[in-house]
């Protein structure tokens, strides 16, 4: 199975197609306490309630359309007591985000851009994004640092 995926991924790269993980999933909760952690696949994330919005970002050209789950839909799944959410990327880069960014619905977990899934080599499978054009405060350096792409896990601290 892994060999078949690797061959398909190499063929897709050679053809210029985006490479997607076979089953992208996001770990939400406290991984050290298995009962309070959940591994959500793409369909489960979409099932939380998606929105579509258009915004510019510092990393893309012009306005883009995101399909995403608002952070308040994810916040209830995080579990644990704390005031920050540690977001970790596939390359182990991590950033702490105020829990209030999620509970207020400002932070979104994007899984598609311009109608296409986010490939791992271009921001995917998941990307924390904000509606940057809706509020000038969301374009500051702090919010840019919180906009972690290639997101693999969220935990409360």
CA 19 centroid distance within chain:
16
When pLDDT is averaged across residues 53-64 and rounded to a whole number, the result is 96
CB 89 within 8 A of CB 151: yes
pLDDT, one tens digit per residue, over 72-85 is 999 888 876 789 99
Higher-confidence residue of 78 and 4: namely 78
Quick check: 32 pLDDT over 90? no
- Predicted TM-score (pTM) of this structure: 0.80
Pick from 20-24, 49-53, 143-147: least confident: 20-24
Q: How far apart, in whole angstroms, are the C-alpha atoms of residue 112 and residue 143?
A: 20
Rg of the chain over Cα atoms, rounded to whole angstroms, equals 16
What residue ranges define each of the domains in the chain, with the CATH number in brackets? 24-156 (3.90.420.10)
CA 105 centroid distance within chain:
14
């Amino acid at each position: 199975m892994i060999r078949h995926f690797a061959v398909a991924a190499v063929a897709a790269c050679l053809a210029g197609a985006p490479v997607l993980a076979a089953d992208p999933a996001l770990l939400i909760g406290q991984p050290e306490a298995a009962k309070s952690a959940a591994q959500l696949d793409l369909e489960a994330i979409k099932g939380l309630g998606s929105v579509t919005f258009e915004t510019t970002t510092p990393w893309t050209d012009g306005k883009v359309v995101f399909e995403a789950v608002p952070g308040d839909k994810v916040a209830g799944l995080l579990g644990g007591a704390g005031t920050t959410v540690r977001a970790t990327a596939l390359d182990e880069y991590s950033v702490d985000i105020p829990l209030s960014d999620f509970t207020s619905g400002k932070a979104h977990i994007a899984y598609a851009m311009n109608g296409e899934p986010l490939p791992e080599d271009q921001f995917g499978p998941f990307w924390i994004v904000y509606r940057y054009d809706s509020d000038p405060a969301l374009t500051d350096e702090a919010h840019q640092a919180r906009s972690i792409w290639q997101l693999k896990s969220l935990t409360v601290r």
